[in-house]
Structure 1
Amino acid sequence: MTLHIETPLIKSRALSLKTDRTVLLKLEGLQPSGSFKLRGVGFACEEHKRRGARRFVAASGGNAGYAVAYAGRELGIPVTVVVPQTTSARAKALIRGEEADVVVHGASFAESNAYALSILGEGDAYLHAFDDPLLWEGHATMVEEIARQTERPDLLVCSVGGGGLLAGVIEGLRRVGWNDIPVLAVETDGAASYNEALKAGEPVTLPKIQSVATSLGANKVSARIVALAKEHPVRNCLVTDAEAIQGSVTLLEEHRLLTEPACGASVAALAQVPQHFPNAQRIVVIACGGVGTTSQQLLEWSDFCRLEGDQIGASRSNEVKASESQHP
C-alpha cells in the first residue's frame, strides 16, 4: 500500500471542443492531501521511516507541508512544519489538522527553510518541498498510471514551481519508454524562475514573486530541471495570472474541481499548444490540484480580472475613439 492513490484520467469534453484536440486530465487534486505532492512526499516519508526516522521536518506553508503532515500522521511519525509569516490562517489550520506542529518563522520561504534545517536533530528527517530525488521517484508514478490508463499521448502539460513535478514527470516518461514525448512546462509571468533559469543556463534567484499562483513561487528552481531541458524535449511557456485564474474557473465550472491558479495555469497553456506543438492531437494535462484556494477566493479573483479586463477594454476603446476624432 502507498500513501497516495491512483487518480482518474478523464477526457475533458469541454477542453477538447475548445482546442479541437483530445485533452485528458490527470486528476491529482483527488489525492488525500489535495495535490500531487503526496506521491513524492509519501514515498520519501516511507523511505525515511524505513531508515529509522523519528520525526519529519519540513518548511512549507502550502501543499508540500500539508502532504508531509498527512504522511506523518498516517505513518505514526511526529511532524514539524516551519511556515513563513505570510502563511494564511487556513493553511496553518489544515496542517495542524493533520496533528503536525506548526512553527511560524521568517518573512520568506528561504528564512523558514533555513530555520527548519537548523532545528534538525538526531533521528529527524528533512523533507524538501521539491529538490530531492526521492520526491521525483514518487512523482514519476503518475506517468506509470497514465501509461496504464490510456494510449500514448503526443504531449504532457504540467505546471512548474520549484521543479519537483517536472522532474518526476520526465523520470516517469523514461520509465515507461516514452522518452520522446515532449513536455510543456508552464509558469505565470510573475513566478517565472524556470524561464529565467533556461535563459541563463543555470538556476537564478528571482528578487521577488509577483503572482497569485503562489504555489509556483519558488524564487529558484532545482538544478535538475535545468539539466533535464538539455536531455528531454521540454518547452516552457508563460501565462498571465488572469489566464491561470480562468483555467481554474474552467476546471470548477466544467469538472466540479476546485484547484489553485498554479494548476489552472496548465489549463490556460492549452491555448499555446498550436504555437509550440502544432501536431500534438492527444494531450495529457496534469491537473496538479492544490489546497490553498477557496471557491470564494477564486470567484473574487475571477471577478476582479474580468473587471480589470473590462476597464482595459474601455480604455482602449476610448483611445481608438479619440484617435478617430483626431484623424477623421
Structure 2
Amino acid sequence: QAQLPATIVMPEWASITKQEATRAYGGEVVIAGQSLGESLKKAEDMIQAGKMFIHPFNDPDIITGQGTVALEILEDLRNTDMILVPVGGGGLISGIASVVKAVRPEVRVVGVQSSACPSAHEARRQGKLVRVDARQSIADGISVRQLGELNFEIIQKNVDDLVLVQEEDIAAAILLLLERKKILAEGAGAVTLAALLNGSVAVPRKGKTVLMISGGNVDSPLLGRILGQGLSKHGRIMRFKVTLDDRPGSLAQLLAVISELKANVLHIYHDRSERNLPIYVTRVDLEIETRSPAHVDEISRKLIEVGYELELR
C-alpha cells in the first residue's frame, strides 16, 4: 500500500509458491545461497546508501510486531494454559513469549522445531548460540541453522520448553489439518500439531492449548509427496514387496486376498530383472489403499498366513 520498493533475498530451496507470492505483492526476489545464513549475507552485501536492511528475526521491531499475536490470543482465549509456537530463527516465539510472560506469566510457552534443523533446541541444551548442521526438511520455513542473538536471550528467559518433531510427524499433521480442519498448512506451520500427535507435549487436562499454525506456502508437487507420507503414517496407504511364482494366476490369487480384505490397489509394478532373482519368480511392488493401522496389520497377517513373504516399505 505504501508503494515502497523492497528486495527480498531467498535461499535456492525457497518454494516456488513463496517466490511467486512475493513477486505478486510487488517485491523484487533475489535467489541466493543454499541456506538462510547465506541469503542473509547476500542481503547485507546488497545494502546501498539510503536503503534499510530488515533482519527477518534478529530485530527488536520485528520481535515487537510478532508479539501482538500473543495479545490477540490472550484477549480472545482468556483461559489459555499453553501456547505452542514454531521456531526457526526465533522471532515469532520471542515476541509471543515476551508478551505472555509480561501479561500472563503462568501460561506456558513451548517452542517446536523439526529434528532436521534443531538450532534452538541445541542452543538451549548447550546454554549458548550454536550453528547446527541441517538436513532437508518439509518444514523449510523454520530451517534456520542458528538463532539470532536477541532471540536466544529472550528464549532462554521466557520460553518454558523446546521440543523436536520428526519429518513423518509433520507430514501426518499436514494431512490431519487438511482433512479435519480444511486448513492447508506448510510444514513449518504444522509442527505444533505434530508435537501433540507424537506426544512430545503433554496437554493440560483443563483450560486451552493454543497451536500457532503459521504459513501455507506449499508447492503442489511437494504437497502430493507430503500427503502420501502422511497417509502412510496414519495407516491409510500400505506399501510392500512380495515374490510370486511367474505363472498365470499368481497375481490374481494375491489380489483376491487383498480384495477380500476390502483394500484397493493404487499402484502395482512387476520386476523380473531384479538381481539374484530366480528366473521362475517375479517381484511385485504394491501400493494399496487401507483404512487404518489395524487394517494394515490385518492384511499383513492374512497374507503371511496364506504363505506370502512380505517386505514392508
TM-score (norm 2): 0.69
Q: For residues 104 and 226 of structure 1, do their structure 2 counterparts lie closer, same or farther at Cα, with a shift above 3 Å needed?
A: closer
Q: Counterpart amino acid of 1:221?
A: L
Q: Which of 186, 209, 216 matches 2:142?
A: 216
Post-superposition CA distance 1:251-301 (Å, at most 9, x none): 22222211101111101112466854655641111111232x145532421
Q: Is the 8 A contact 1:246 1:264 kept in 2?
A: no
- Mapping for residues 59-208 of structure 1, pairs under 5 Å: 74-175=1-102, 177-208=103-134
Q: Is the partner of 1:78 in helix, strand or coil?
A: coil
Report runs of 4+ in structure 1 exceeding 6 Å deviation.
312-315
Identity score, percent: 24
Length, aligned pairs only = 245
Distance in 1, Cα, partners of 2:31 & 2:68: 33
Counterpart for residue 66 of structure 1 = none
Q: Secondary structure of the residue that 1:138 maps to in structure 2? A: helix
Distance in structure 2 (CA, Å) of the matches to 1:83 and 1:132: 18
Q: Give the direction of change, closer, same or farther, for the CA distance of 1:274–1:265 in structure 2 (3 Å limit).
A: closer
Give the deviation of 1:306 after TM superposition.
4.0
Any idea what the Cα deviations from partners look like across 1:56-97, whole Å, max 9, x if unmatched?
Answer: xxxxxxxxxxxxxxxxxx221101112233334333222221
Is 1:298–2:223 an aligned residue pair?
A: yes
Q: What amino acid does structure 2 have at the position aligned with 1:258? A: L
Aligned residue runs from structure 1 range 19-30, under 5 A: none
Which has the higher Rg, Structure 1 or Structure 2?
2
3-state secondary structure, aligned to 2:116 = helix
Q: Which AA in structure 2 matches 1:77?
A: L
Q: Does 1:262 align with 2:188?
A: yes
> Contact 1:248 / 1:259 at 8 angstroms: preserved in 2?
yes
Flag the 1:207–1:138 CA change in 2: closer, same or farther, 3 A. Answer: same
- What's the TM-score, normalizing by structure 1? 0.66
Q: Does the C-alpha gap of structure 1 residues 140 and 190 become closer, same or farther in structure 2, counting only changes over 3 Å?
A: same
Structure 1 residue 156 displacement after superposition: 0.6
Displacement, 1:305?
A: 4.8
The amino acid across from 2:166 in the alignment is: T
SS of match in other structure, 1:127: coil
Shift of 1:100: 1.7
More helix by share: 1
Shift of 1:157: 0.7
Verify the 8 A CA contact 2:82 2:210 in the aligned structure 1: yes
- Larger RCO (CA under 8 A, 6+ residues apart): 1
Measured on the aligned residues, the alpha-carbon RMSD in Å equals 2.9
Contact 1:157 1:185 in 2 (8 A): yes
Q: Distance in 1 between matches of 2:205 and 2:17?
A: 43
Query: CA–CA distance in 1 between the matches of 2:151 and 2:5?
Result: 31
Name the stretch that deviates more: 293-302 or 131-140. Answer: 293-302
Partner of 2:250: none
